[in-house]
Chain A
Amino acid sequence: MGWYAVYRREMLVLWKQIGRMGYVFSSIIFPFIYLFSFGLGLGDRVNVDGGYLPFLAKGIMGVTVMLNAFQQTAGSVSVGRLYFHDFRSVVLSPIAAWEVVLGLVLAGVMRGIIFGSLVFAIAWGAFDVGGLNSLAVAGLLLGSCCFAALGVAVGMLVNNPTDVSMINNFFITPMTFFGGSFFPLQNLPHWIAVIAQLSPIGTLNTLLRSNVWDSGAMWAAGTLIVLTVCFFSWSAWLYSRYSE
């Protein structure tokens, strides 16, 4: 049960941080602004099956999941490794690499679910966006797993905590804007739409917005599972080679 000790450590630190108002606010301010600016500004001008506001609310929930599961996990690991050195308490412990990564990923999943759900709850309260079906819940879980596992790998890989922002600039921000979170992918040039569809956020959005478990939803779920396994294995390999 070493993974559970790692998970509890991360969650205890997270609850302390959530206790500070600024932490929650900074975690949801970006999606919150986009939800209200796009929702109020474009709400009745964009034609999407099922309405633009439900489309936007699920897309922004996906972005929130990605930002929190990835960034907070990568930040926690990299800052703990390189700045505060408190990650050493995990490294010194007799817990196997895969268990350490599992504990960190599950904590990242909780970060994604907590803040993703919070943003969707705000959207649900402010606009007529409907509820979440089983596919959206599966998307929330699988997307959080995928981005948290990527966050552990990046957190283990960088040589400076500020390098995480470089990953954000080159991968996360393009996925945020081209991954179909704010507008349908068919409006993009074909080759960009294909890349966006294959990206983790693209597959997450497909799952969040699907209504039935058809081939598209199954493909999206399978892609997220495969990506999670790849990122998880990469993280465990990096951790097993840990050296200061």
Chain B
Amino acid sequence: MRNMLEKHQDSVYAVQLTELTKVYDGRKIVDNLSLIIPAGEIFGLLGPNGAGKTTVMKMIAGLTQPSKGSVQIFGINRDDQPTAIKKLVGLVPQDNNLERDLTVEEVLLIYGRLFGVDQVKHRVAEVLEEFNLEQSRYKQVGVLSGGLARRALIARALLPDPKLLLLDEPTVGLDPDVRQDLWTIVRHLTDQGKSIVLTTHYMEEAEQLCQQVAMLRAGRLALLDTPAGIKQQVGKTGQALGALESMFIKLVREGDA
């Protein structure tokens, strides 16, 4: 098992999805999706509502079992090591799912213990400082502002030091200044060698942060390129709206047609 987990150090791919499919009540939410997400980059997963972005994230994280296909994380097949592989992945969900009765510090301590983090109190203190949460450590998470809750969610996900961070709509509903603040955190994480997959509705966010983006439509891969490549494809029509936003609207309209 140790050899398998050490293998991720050499893998150039953070995530490899092969013919990934998820069916709910006879409806394909994710349809035969194959995708390679490079290590050490910020990868954007875009698409309209219902495109299957969150379901893909949940399948990568291990919250949702695929109906078909496989998920490999740093070269390790999730089916081979479903429990051990969880140490490699951190998930920041769309909604605030911190234990609402507990304080920020208690939430982090619990999470650290669940992941078997060594010297957990010391590590929690480090994370609280890193994310400017020291002033809020004794606050009940139920009363945190949207920005602080988002910081706490990211801090929690990073506490066990995962190699891959999944950010599901990380800045939705946040003020522009808080969003900028989180962008800085995300960029800083890649400097530390983390691989990041994020879903977003904000095209500007994807353009600013991502080295590569994949657009999903009806659970299928509609486009895979760099933001610069998409700009070239969009050409002049992209000047008014921004290249990604133009491509996004084009794909949504094609899907509706």
Contact = CB atoms under 8 A, between A and B. Distances in A.
Interface of A: 1-2, 4-6, 8-9, 12-13, 16-17, 84-86, 88-96, 241-244
Interface string B116-154: 100000000000000000000000000000000000000
A222 B110 CA distance: 35
A9 B109 CA distance: 9
Most chain A CB neighbours (cut-off 10 Å) among B85, B110, B111: B110
A94 B83 contact: yes
Contacts of B106: 12
Contacts of A17: 101
Contact of A243 (B64, B85, B113): B64
Contact of B110 (A12, A94, A95, A243): A12
A8 B113 contact: yes
Contacts, number: 76
B89 to A, nearest CB: 8
Contacts of A5: 110, 113-114, 116
Nearest to A99: B83
Contact of A9 (B86, B91, B98, B110): B110
A92 B113 contact: no
A240 to B, nearest CB: 9
Given A2-B116, A9-B114, A93-B114, A244 B58 contact: yes
A93 B156 CA distance: 12
Interface string B31-69: 000000000000000000000000000100111110000
A96 B63 contact: no
18 contacts: A5-B110, A9-B99, A12-B110, A13-B99, A85-B95, A86-B97, A86-B98, A88-B93, A89-B111, A91-B62, A92-B63, A92-B91, A93-B86, A94-B83, A94-B84, A94-B85, A94-B86, A94-B87
B102 interface: yes
B250 interface: no
Contact of A88 (B63, B101, B116): B63
B202 interface: no
B93 A94 contact: no
B62 A92 contact: yes
Interface string B76-106: 0000000111110101010101111110001
Interface of B: 58, 61-65, 83-87, 89, 91, 93, 95, 97-102, 106, 110-111, 113-116, 156
Most chain B CB neighbours (cut-off 10 Å) among A8, A12, A17: A12
Contacts of A241: 65
A92 B111 CA distance: 10
Contacts of B63: 88, 91-92, 242-244
Most chain B CB neighbours (cut-off 10 Å) among A6, A86, A88: A86
Contacts of B99: 9, 13, 84, 86, 89
Contacts of A86: 97-100
Given A89-B97, A92-B86, A94-B87, A243 B65 contact: yes
A89 B111 CA distance: 7
Contacts of A84: 97, 99-100
Given A86-B100, A95-B83, A243-B65, 8 more contacts: A88-B93, A89-B111, A90-B114, A93-B114, A94-B86, A94-B87, A95-B114, A244-B63
Contacts of B83: 94-96
Contacts of B114: 2, 5-6, 9, 89-90, 93, 95
B129 to A, nearest CB: 22
Contacts of A85: 93, 95, 97
A90 to B, nearest CB: 6
Nearest to B101: A16
Contacts of A91: 62-63
B134 to A, nearest CB: 21
8 nearest CB pairs, A to B: A93-B114, A85-B97, A5-B113, A243-B65, A16-B101, A94-B86, A9-B110, A86-B99
Most chain A CB neighbours (cut-off 10 Å) among B62, B93, B99, B156: B99
A94 B89 CA distance: 10
Contacts of A242: 63, 65
B86 A12 contact: no
A12 B102 contact: yes
Nearest to A240: B82
A75 to B, nearest CB: 14
B13 to A, nearest CB: 21
A185 B64 CA distance: 47
A94 B102 contact: no
